């Protein structure tokens, strides 16, 4: 069976940028002349006062630069596949490196990338600061707010304890610490100020303090412009559904407090909270609440999702050899159909949802990737899963 994937153009952003373009913006054709080390391009740029060598340097280190920007966006819970945002963060790093070029002294023994590392971290944080819902007088203030926000979120201590500990650690007054915490809590209703932990210099350690494997919407709850849509969708749930989501994920939708995962309720505990239920019953109720919230968020345009149901299967010696799935793009409209052959590991799109060769085609490709990643003997009967459209 041949996989029938006609490559239709995928709609991009308002400026027509693609991720390939923004991750290859400094690639030169033909390639620049080779030097013994990458750092020699920086030395040549300083010696000859010629920025062409800086362009040669960018050509070689662009993959490293892309990786640093991508990792930062990932830790912040931001869309790392948004070309415009990615390019903004990347260009700010390049401008910072240009500033560092003037003061860099190669005879002190450090490579240029090592010398500029801290400044580039500040450049990324500065971009993030500009996206926050609150206003900050300086990058230093923003770092302090992030620091106390992480302490408040990561330790699970009371407000008074956090204020005292932060004031003692940073050598400031408790009144100042309380002001920082007030800013952090106010901004928490709009943006994720404390998604990552920080070290004493304000650099990200990479420790994700809010990740929850059971419910992947925590990063969405307060993410910029989506916050209003999430809050509105959450308020449409019943009281029982709200409590299930909050208790299972250790989050308060009223104040935005995200507690340590060790404090989340088990399904057995949820069953006790709602008398007359069993652990399996509480789990099913929780899954239904997640699905209902997902559909509401799709309707609000906050995310995209695919509804999937298995139409038929073909077995050979009790093993699933082929299956036919129907899928629905964004939980609405006519269903499409995809046939899978697990013997030849191929897939065929029989019918696109809504007969849409542009948008629905992207959803179909996501379905193919998802089903192929499943164990052929444990294929889902029906499922609703969130997708990221690139």
Instruction: Check whether 364 has a pLDDT greater than 70.
Output: yes
d(CA 78, CA 17): 18
Task: Give whichever of 43-52, 204-213, 275-284 has the largest mean pLDDT.
Answer: 43-52
Cis peptide before 322 (omega within 30 of 0): no
Binned at pLDDT 50, 70 and 90, residue 196 comes out as very low
Instruction: Check whether 223 has a pLDDT greater than 90.
Output: no
Structural fold of domain 218-299: Arc Repressor Mutant, subunit A (1.10.10)
Binned at pLDDT 50, 70 and 90, residue 366 comes out as confident
d(CA 270, CA 285): 10
In terms of pLDDT, which residue wins out, 303 or 112? 112
- Taking all residues of the chain, what is their mean pLDDT, rounded to a whole number? 78
pLDDT in tens, 269-296: 888 887 667 888 888 888 899 889 988 9
What pLDDT does residue 117 have? 93
Mean pLDDT of 352-367: 75
The rounded percent of the chain whose pLDDT value lies above 90 is 23
pLDDT in tens, 103-116: 999 988 889 999 99
pTM: 0.48
d(CA 201, CA 231): 34
Range of lowest pLDDT (8-17, 41-50, 244-253): 8-17
Range of lowest pLDDT (27-31, 259-263, 311-315): 259-263
d(CA 2, CA 212): 39
What pLDDT does residue 7 have? 33
What pLDDT does residue 320 have? 87
Range of lowest pLDDT (29-38, 119-128, 175-184): 175-184
Binned at pLDDT 50, 70 and 90, residue 191 comes out as very low
What pLDDT does residue 91 have? 94
Token representation of residue 134: 């609150």
What pLDDT does residue 358 have? 59
What pLDDT does residue 192 have? 39
Q: Is 318 helix (H, G, I), strand (E, B) or coil?
A: coil
d(CA 390, CA 388): 6
Instruction: Check whether 4 has a pLDDT greater than 70.
Output: no
Mean pLDDT of 375-379: 79
What pLDDT does residue 73 have? 87
Q: How many other C-beta atoms lie within 10 A of the C-beta of residue 7?
A: 7
d(CA 62, CA 60): 6
What is the maximum alpha-carbon separation in the chain? 80
In terms of pLDDT, which residue wins out, 266 or 55? 55
Instruction: Check whether 378 has a pLDDT greater than 60.
Output: yes
Q: Check if the beta carbon of residue 23 is closer than 8 Å to that of residue 91.
A: no
Which of 135, 255, 151, 227 is closest to 183 using CA atoms? 135
Residue 97 CA: distances (Å) to CA of 27, 55, 64, 87, 131: 17, 12, 14, 15, 22
Instruction: Check whether 201 has a pLDDT greater than 80.
Output: no
- 370 strand-pairing partners: none
Mean pLDDT of 32-58: 91
In terms of pLDDT, which residue wins out, 388 or 23? 23
- In order, the DSSP letters of 235-292 are HTS-HHHHHHHHHHHTB-TTT--B--GGGSPPHHHHHHHSTT--HHHHHHHHHHHHHH
What residue spans define the domains of the chain?
A: 19-131, 139-208, 218-299, 304-387
What pLDDT does residue 133 have? 58
d(CA 260, CA 223): 19
Query: Which residues 6+ apart lie within 8 Å of 4 measured at CB?
Result: 348, 349
Residue 266 CA: distances (Å) to CA of 213, 249, 278, 288, 293: 13, 10, 12, 16, 20
Task: Give whichever of 64-78, 123-137, 372-386 has the largest mean pLDDT.
Answer: 64-78
pLDDT in tens, 97-147: 999 999 999 988 889 999 999 999 999 999 988 877 566 778 888 888 888
What pLDDT does residue 334 have? 86
Give percent helix, percent strand, percent coil of the chain, each to the nearest 5: 50, 15, 35
Q: Check if the beta carbon of residue 229 is closer than 8 Å to that of residue 217.
A: no
């Amino acid at each position: 069976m041949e996989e029938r994937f006609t490559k239709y153009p995928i709609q991009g952003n308002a400026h027509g940028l693609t991720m390939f373009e923004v991750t290859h913006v400094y690639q030169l054709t033909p390639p620049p002349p080779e030097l013994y080390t990458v750092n020699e391009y920086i030395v040549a740029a300083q010696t000859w006062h010629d920025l062409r060598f800086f362009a040669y340097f960018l050509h070689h280190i662009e993959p490293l630069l892309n990786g640093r920007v991508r990792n930062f966006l990932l830790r912040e819970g931001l869309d790392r596949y948004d070309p415009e945002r990615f390019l903004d963060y990347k260009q700010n790093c390049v401008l910072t490196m240009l500033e560092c070029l003037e003061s860099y002294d190669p005879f002190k023994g450090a490579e240029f990338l090592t010398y500029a590392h801290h400044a580039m971290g500040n450049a990324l944080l500065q971009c993030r600061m500009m996206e926050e819902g609150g206003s900050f007088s300086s990058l230093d203030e923003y770092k302090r707010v992030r620091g106390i926000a992480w302490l408040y979120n990561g330790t699970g201590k009371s407000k008074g304890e956090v204020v005292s500990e932060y004031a003692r650690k940073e050598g400031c007054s408790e009144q100042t610490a309380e002001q920082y915490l007030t800013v952090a809590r106010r901004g928490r209703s709009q943006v994720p100020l404390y998604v990552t932990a920080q070290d004493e210099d304000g650099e990200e350690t990479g420790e994700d303090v809010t990740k929850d494997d059971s419910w992947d919407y925590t990063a969405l709850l307060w993410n910029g412009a989506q916050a209003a849509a999430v809050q509105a969708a959450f308020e449409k749930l019943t009281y029982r559904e709200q409590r299930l989501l909050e208790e299972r994920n250790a989050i308060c939708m009223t104040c935005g407090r995200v507690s340590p995962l060790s404090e989340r309720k088990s399904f057995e505990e949820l069953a006790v909270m709602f008398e007359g239920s069993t652990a399996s019953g509480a789990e099913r109720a929780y899954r239904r609440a997640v699905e209902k919230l997902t559909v509401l968020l799709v309707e609000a345009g906050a995310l995209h999702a695919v509804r999937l149901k298995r139409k038929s299967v073909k077995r050979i010696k009790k093993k699933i050899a082929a299956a036919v799935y129907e899928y629905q793009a964004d939980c609405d409209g006519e269903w499409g159909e995809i046939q899978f052959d697990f013997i030849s590991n191929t897939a065929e799109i029989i019918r696109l949802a809504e007969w849409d060769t542009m948008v629905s085609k992207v959803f179909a490709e996501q379905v193919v990737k998802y089903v192929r990643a499943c164990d052929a003997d444990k294929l889902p009967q029906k499922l609703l899963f969130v997708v990221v459209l690139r």
